[in-house]
A and B are shown apart, each in its own frame.
Chain A
Amino acid sequence: MLKIKELTKKFDSLVAVNRVSLDCKKGETLTVLGPSGCGKTTLLRLVAGFEKPDQGEILLNGEVVSQPNKIIAPNKRDLGMIFQDLALWPHMTVEQNIEFSLRSKRMNKTERKKEVKEILEKINLEGFEKRYPNKLSGGEQQRVALARSLVSKPKLLLMDEPLSSLDSILKGELIQLLTSLKDQLELTMVYVTHDQEEAKSVADRIAVMNCGRIEQVGTLEEIRSDPTNKLVKDFLNIHTKPRSFRLEG
């Protein structure tokens, strides 16, 4: 489904993404886990088509979409994306936010309305159609962002720290919603986060990223049984022996 080959992106002298290669199979959820500033957001933006790579390429369904000298516009990639701070359009209602993201132009008004209604039902947002984003709670805004990214029925969903602003209870609810939607819609997901618990609970496979490089890729069990280095160990909180704590002083 998604294939990333030897991808490199520099900002001036900073190498944000350094020769990254990754695969993501159809229906799979790949979590990119790493500390802030490790280049994971840039990686996601490259996949979405907002940035042009300096080296390497990205393929979607076998078709090259990004190369240093060729780039296919984000709206031609058949993907959905949830941004870190959601980026809901403040001047549009919930309904308008979702409808505007409906890609197909061939639909008429009633069909569009129907699509919007359907997704609102799926995401438990009925009754919120006419509200503006600033009149919604954090969890509701999150669900609008989700609805907006899914209304066009994309095959690939990109998520950039989508739950970082929520408390743990809401997080749990949304992760459940996300997993059920994923099965219903046969979604492939790339999920970027710095929170290992989040990563563990949604991922089929985890890619640990640091300083622009992928340190290790695998299922949680694979990584747990054979972490390649100390950083991966620390970051996934893998410890062979139970830790002993001692009070200082």
Chain B
Amino acid sequence: MHNRLVYIVALALFCIIVLAPILSMFLDSFMVEGKPSLSNYSEVLKEKRQIGLLVNSLILAIGTTFFCLLIGVPLGFLINRTNIHLRNHFSYLFLAPLVIPPYISTIAWIHLLGSKGILNIYLMKLFSVTEPFFTIYGFLGSIFVLTLSYFPFVTLLTITGLKSFDRRLEEAAEISHGSWDIMKKITLPLIYPYIFSAAIFVFIFSISNYSVPDLLRVNVYPVEIFIQFSAYYNHAKATALSIPLILILFFLIALQRRYMGNKSYVTVETSSREVKVRDLGWWKGIAFAFVLLIIFLSVLVPISDLIFTSRSINAYVVAFKTAHPQIINSFILAFSAATVMVILAFIVSYITERAKKVLKGSLDFVSLLPFAIPATIFGIGLTATWNTPSTKFIYGTSLIIIFGYVARFIPFVIRTIGSNIKQIKVGLEEAALISEPSWAKRILKVVAPLSKSGILAGWGIAFVLSMGELAVTLLVTPAGEATLPIRIYTLMHYGAQQLVAALCIILVCVTLLPIISIVLIGRLSRVQIAIK
């Protein structure tokens, strides 16, 4: 096999799937009735709502980022650096909230703390008042749910940062300083780029999240864009509307690249740098309670509420009967999308890593672009690109959903696999070149096995995210091809509580299935997955 051909095919696919929707959506926003015009923008900018939307979006994103840091960073320190109870278990349990899509925990929290939420009704009876003290609706509730969904990113990056440097850097400081000074002046500054990156990611996720503010009735950009698109079918205007948001995200990504440079986001290497585990002493109980509370609120409460709401085994039987096409469909789509992403990401990051400087920089940046495009906008871009008579075989079939998943989530996979490939020295490949003339065989026998852990982790991330994807799918799903998240979302509006809860639990279980198998495979082959 010729390597050039593979490169070209992979890059072409990447451009078609990821870049085309972004470009066409941009171009479309400058067109009015087939002629180039700026009127979409001037119209949008005239509206006073813009400022309100911007402020709302910023409040939501800044609030979520703040609380994610407040929880995530200490959690990372506790898990990685202290002798907290159940340390080994917490080191993967903290990732559990990532398997529960934000709208699923929102559904659970509405059930508990909505205006007629069971917890609120109970509290109202208890204190004999007619109005609930607190409802999950509004900013506070949205920030609360989003924080509980996204803090694991901060913890993950904090731990990666803590593992990234040599312990001697801290020991060198121990010669002259006590542990508090070392933490302040050495450890924290060393992991600052990681914390900063985590903050930017959380900011991006929360500012472009559609489902949570939609369910909790907060008017932010993604919600407004969605309305513009689905109610008025005006995608040029919807795109123009989102430009301030996209500009903010672009700026943040550039900033993140500057600070983080080429540092890897997950440690995929197996070499274990021993860290000094500190004795928490008197704080041990409090720290343990803190971590338990976080796990309790982010995982146990939503899951047990959903199990409780589904009430009987019968609900699951009904759920399977009515929704098994969607369950199977979702699984197949997420599975294929994750596999496509891993193959594409592997080749793209391989090219990026081995390419010359100019190409390297631009590929690197381009591969991050999808981070800057809110999911709803991506959906619009996909429609604009593929909703043509000649591309019905894509737009009218499940392929469009796979395209959507790939376009949205491939940056994660590229980052994960790329950081792994970066560690494979060119020399290893050159050594293989001496005896193995076939490029494909060298890749399959040397590079791929060495990046196995990155590939597995990347696949897992891609699968989990795709299984839960809602915003893009809502916009592009062809008739009759619904996924499980869509089914849940629509049923929710009909008030089928019991069924919705059962489907949510099924979604979480189906998502967990391959992840558990990856972890088991990883254990068997002694590959340490990024998570640990």
A102 at the interface (CB under 8 A from B): yes
B524 at the interface (CB under 8 A from A): no
The one of B174, B178, B186 in contact with A50, judged by C-beta atoms closer than 8 angstroms, is B174
Contact A73 B171 (CB under 8 A): no
Given A87-B166, A91-B189, A79 contacting B171 (CB threshold 8 A): no
The one of A75, A87, A90, A91 in contact with B176, judged by C-beta atoms closer than 8 angstroms, is A75
Contact B176 A100 (CB under 8 A): yes
Contact B166 A85 (CB under 8 A): yes
Contact A75 B190 (CB under 8 A): no
Contact B171 A87 (CB under 8 A): yes
Interface size on B, residues (CB 8 A): 16
Interface 0/1 of B169-210, CB less than 8 Å to A = 101111111100000011001101000000000000000000
Distance A221 CA – B69 CA, assembled complex (angstroms): 62
Distance A79 CA – B168 CA, assembled complex (angstroms): 16
Interface size on A, residues (CB 8 A): 24
Q: Which residues of A contact B166 (CB under 8 A)?
A: 85, 87
Given A74-B174, A75-B174, A100 contacting B185 (CB threshold 8 A): yes
Q: Which residues of B contact A148 (CB under 8 A)?
A: 172
The one of B169, B174, B178 in contact with A89, judged by C-beta atoms closer than 8 angstroms, is B169
Q: Which residues of B contact A103 (CB under 8 A)?
A: 176-177
Q: Quote the shortest CB–CB distance from B189 to chain A (angstroms).
A: 5
Q: Which residues of B contact A30 (CB under 8 A)?
A: none
Given A89-B186, A100-B173, A100-B185, A75 contacting B178 (CB threshold 8 A): yes
Within 8 A of A (CB), among B216-242: none
The one of B172, B176, B177, B185 in contact with A83, judged by C-beta atoms closer than 8 angstroms, is B172
Most buried by A among B168, B175, B178, B186: B175
The one of A49, A87, A91, A152 in contact with B172, judged by C-beta atoms closer than 8 angstroms, is A87
A81 at the interface (CB under 8 A from B): yes
Contact A81 B175 (CB under 8 A): yes
Q: Which residues of B contact A84 (CB under 8 A)?
A: 168
Within 8 A of B (CB), among A26-58: 48-50
Distance A74 CA – B177 CA, assembled complex (angstroms): 8
A67 at the interface (CB under 8 A from B): no
Q: Quote the shortest CB–CB distance from A109 to chain B (angstroms).
A: 16
Q: Which residues of A contact B190 (CB under 8 A)?
A: 89-91
Given A50-B171, A83-B168, A102 contacting B186 (CB threshold 8 A): no
Q: Which residues of A contact B173 (CB under 8 A)?
A: 89, 100-101
Contact B171 A83 (CB under 8 A): yes
Distance A73 CA – B174 CA, assembled complex (angstroms): 8
Contact B172 A75 (CB under 8 A): no
Contact B175 A79 (CB under 8 A): yes
Query: Which A residue sits closest to B166, measured CB to CB?
Result: A87
Query: Which A residue sits closest to B189, measured CB to CB?
Result: A91
Given A91-B190, A100-B185, A152 contacting B168 (CB threshold 8 A): no
Q: Which residues of B contact A212 (CB under 8 A)?
A: none
- What are 6 A-to-B residue pairs whose CB atoms are below 8 Å? A50-B171, A75-B175, A81-B175, A83-B172, A90-B169, A91-B192
For the A-B complex with A74-B175, A89-B169, A148-B172 known, give 4 more contacts whose Cβ atoms are closer than 8 Å. Answer: A83-B168, A87-B168, A91-B189, A100-B173
**A residues neighboring B (CB under 8 Å):** 48-50, 73-75, 79-81, 83-85, 87-91, 100-103, 148-149, 152
